[in-house]
Chains A and B, each alone.
Chain A
Amino acid sequence: MTALSEPVTTGTRTLLSNGEALEEIVRPAEGLISRRIFSDTEVYGLEVEKIFGRGWFFVGHESEIPEPGDLVTRSVGMDPAILLRDDDGEIRVFLNSCRHRGMRVCRTDRENTSFLRCPYHGWAYRNNGELITAAAESHYGPGELEKEKLGLIPVAQLGSYHGLLFATWDPDAPALDDYLGNMKYYLDIIVNRTGGVRVVGTPQIWDVETSWKFATDNFTDNFHVFSAHHSLVELGMLPNDPDFAGHGTMVVAEEGHILHLTAGAPTDQYESMGLPHALRAKFPEHLDPDQVEMAKHVAYSAGTVWPNFHWLQLMGSGTIGQPDVPFLNLRLEVPISPTRTRMWSWLLIDNDADPEYLKSSYETYVRTFGPGGIFDQDDMENWEDCTRAALGPAAKRYTLHHKMGIGRPVDENWPGPGTAYQGSYGEMTQRSWYAAWLRFMTTGWAGQAGATSASIAGEGAK
């Protein structure tokens, strides 16, 4: 590594080459986040190693590869990966790169195959990763081709939570179950409330000229809705009330694992995430009574599994004057450069949903979210202009403002795990996210004292 990407750690200070310490320019407990981290190539180089080489990353959902031989190409962190179900039915994730010259061995978005053959020299692998042939094997001398050691490179760990597949390149990362910690309680309400969900079709993918962090910041932000999506207020598709998205609870499940549970209008339509009653009726089979009661008061929920995976359980309409319909959207940001990010977006549906609800949920998602959605398209505009304005040396001397709700008391009566705050306008979830960012950037797993005990300024887990 070059000096530019190798910070000097002195005591508790992690120094950048300009002499600034990350601990000074990113002060989550005070709500002060330097604009430098949103555009700086040195900071980005550190993120590549400290975050994307180590964390757990969403890869896809089991329903995307139902049959043996099914595969889809993805990223794990920032590395190209193949998610597949091998001929024995086992789910595996490999680096999409041949062991010989590193060529991508799979160059489609999806296929069904028992074998992966590299186009470059013809090395071929079984879909369990084993190298079958190096093509011109008679030309290798004794010991030159140790085939049993030259299988496709697997991820260090792969885990599933109710069908959500996560992987990490770090063998020292805590097990997925421990990594998710308290977040599992809330994930249950989203992906296991009716016994399971599945992916509809294929993800939408698009590239946005933004720091990946402006996108992550936005996915735990109710405050922006009234202004950023004001066109829909004008059309009567959102309430003409600046506080309308402010009624609910914000939860720091673990440091960096954060969510909003937001109430809608006080009518049956907006209870239990607006799901059809046939689906709501299944909640008690799969959730405990506290979760069912919690879900009853939720119309909208946005959650982030640190660092870059989100759910959006929302309601909306693509048509003026028509009733809101719910949908479940999963999002992932994959950085391409400090200022360019690949956005992935999946629609999920409860397995027990009837075809009529599936159709209306599908149409509502496509019309309102994703790159063509009448809500979502204005979000990307903000992330790009925030990023462009963070490029210059003057901007990099200043912080962003993340102070809302620093003094707000913890809700001691919250029945769920983690730390909860009443109200849905507040930046405690973002502050927790940046605290996790700073922790990843400046310490190893050993320095992180376990997922459940980390805390910042009283905003960590109970």
Chain B
Amino acid sequence: MTVLDDIRAEAGLPPVLPHTEAYGRVTEFLNYEAELLDSYRFGDWVGLFTDDVLYQMPVRTTQFLVDGEGFHEFDFFIDDHATLTTRVRRLETEFAWAETPPSRTRHFVSNLRLTRDEQSGDMAARLNFMITRTRQDLDYQLFTGVRHDRLVADGESFKIRRRVILVDQTVITATNLSVLF
């Protein structure tokens, strides 16, 4: 899977350390993005992605460690800008029943490690994510994993050129994946 090779390569790029201005701006951007999602500002959220974005969540399987990370050429999401926009437009109808009435989500991001691709100027962010979701009178559903974002400069802020979501579960113990990651 080429996108996983890309991610491994990014770990070897020059680090951007905490307490630098760049690290602070990326942190602020990621927190802002989470706030948009948790405030149902999906139209603003999809505006944070570049036109050539790849948004991907591979399916995970349980394997022995020596056999690799357990990703087998299948996905829960394989989206581009047009399909992400379609997801958002769908949520904006009154009839997307999986989110009507809407879930209440909290997107938590942490453990940010940031590298910079000196050639392109892109930032590569590796972070842990946790999303809690409750809807109607129902118990919490939980999504956790590692996210690998590739960020390009957009004025003082950023746009997301690639998001790979490495979810921890092999069996998703949730009704569906109607929340945005």
Inter-chain contacts of B59 with A (CB < 8 A):
201-204
A205 touches B170 (CB 8 A): yes
Q: Mark B150-181, 1 if CB is under 8 A from A, else 0.
A: 00000000000000000000111111111000
The interface residues of chain B, by DSSP majority, are classed as mixed
Interface residues of B in 27-67 (CB under 8 A from A): 57, 59, 61-64, 67
Q: Is B76 touching A204 in the complex (CB atoms < 8 A)?
A: yes
In the assembled complex, the Cα of A309 lies from the Cα of B90 at a distance in Å of: 29
- Partner of A202 from the list B64, B74, B87, B175 (CB cut-off 8 Å) is B74
- Check if A371 sits within 8 Å of B177, measured CB to CB: yes
A380 cross-chain contacts in B, Cβ below 8 A: 98, 175-176
A107 near B: Cβ within 8 Å?
A: yes
Contact A320 B97 (CB under 8 A): no
B134 within 8 A of A: no
Residues of B within 8 A of A370 (CB): 76
Answer whether residue A207 sits at the interface, using C-beta atoms and an 8 A cutoff: yes
B17 at interface, CB cutoff 8 A: no
Pick the contact of B79 from A107, A109, A228, A318 — CB < 8 Å?
A318
Q: Which residues of A contact B89 (CB under 8 A)?
A: 235, 320
CB distance from A209 to the nearest CB of B (A): 7
Interface residue? B86 (CB, 8 A): yes
Q: Determine whether the beta carbon of A234 is less than 8 Å from that of B86.
A: no
Chain B interface extent, by class = 35 or more
**Residue among A108, A235, A320, A374 making CB contact with B64, cutoff 8 Å:** A108
- Shortest CB-to-CB span from A348 to chain B, Å, is 12
Interchain nearest-CB distance for B142 vs A (Å): 13
Cα distance, A369 to B115, chains bound together (Å): 35
Q: Is A202 a contact partner of B86 (Cβ separation < 8 A)?
A: no
Q: Is B72 an interface residue (CB 8 A)?
A: yes
Give the distance to chain A from B113, nearest Cβ to Cβ, in Å. Answer: 27
- Interface presence of A99 (CB below 8 A): no
Q: Which residues of A contact B76 (CB under 8 A)?
A: 204, 366, 370-372
A111–B63 Cα distance when bound, in Å, is 7
A95-119 contact mask (Cβ, 8 Å, vs B): 1 or 0: 0000000000001111100000000
Which residues on the A side are within 8 Å of B93 (C-beta)? 230-231, 234-235
- Kindly report which residue of chain B lies nearest to residue A234, judged by CB atoms: B93
Q: Given A108-B64, A319-B83, A322-B82, A232–B90 Cβ distance below 8 Å?
A: yes
Which A residues are CB-close (under 8 A) to B70? 109
B96, A204: Cβ atoms under 8 Å? no
Most buried by A among B57, B70, B74, B178: B74
Residue A200 at the chain B interface, CB threshold 8 Å: yes
Whether A377 and B64, one on each chain, are in contact in the complex, defined by CB atoms closer than 8 angstroms, is: no
Q: Give the chain B neighbours of A205 by CB distance below 8 A.
A: 170-172
8 Å CB contact of A108 from B62, B86, B96, B171: B62
**How far is A232 from B171 in the complex, measured between Cα atoms in Å?**
27
Find chain B residues with CB under 8 A from A209 CB: 175
Contacts A109-B170, A231-B96, A366-B78 given; does A208 touch B175 at CB 8 Å: yes
The answer to whether A372 touches B57, judged by C-beta atoms less than 8 angstroms apart, is yes
* Cβ contacts under 8 Å, A371 to chain B: 76, 172, 174-177
| B172:A206 contact, CB within 8 angstroms | yes
Q: Name the residue of chain B whose CB is nearest to the CB of A110.
A: B61
A200:B74 contact, CB within 8 angstroms: yes
Q: Which residues of A contact B96 (CB under 8 A)?
A: 231, 378
- Which chain B residues border A347 with CB–CB below 8 Å? 74
Kindly provide the distance from the CB of B133 to the nearest chain A CB, expressed in whole angstroms: 13
A363 touching B78 by the CB < 8 A rule?
yes
* Given known A201-B73, A378-B97, contact A367–B67 (CB-CB < 8 A): no
Return the contact of A109 from the options B61, B82, B98 (Cβ within 8 A).
B61
Contacting pair B78 A378 (CB below 8 A): no
Near A by CB (< 8 A), chain B positions 76-110 give 76-79, 82-83, 85-87, 89-90, 93-98
* CB-defined A-B contacts under 8 Å, sample of 25: A108-B61, A108-B63, A108-B67, A110-B61, A111-B63, A111-B64, A205-B170, A208-B175, A230-B93, A233-B95, A235-B90, A318-B86, A319-B82, A319-B83, A320-B85, A367-B79, A371-B172, A371-B174, A372-B57, A372-B77, A374-B86, A374-B87, A378-B98, A380-B98, A382-B97
Supply 12 further A-B pairs (C-beta < 8 A) apart from A234-B93, A319-B82: A107-B62, A200-B73, A206-B176, A207-B173, A208-B175, A234-B94, A362-B78, A372-B176, A372-B178, A376-B176, A377-B175, A380-B98
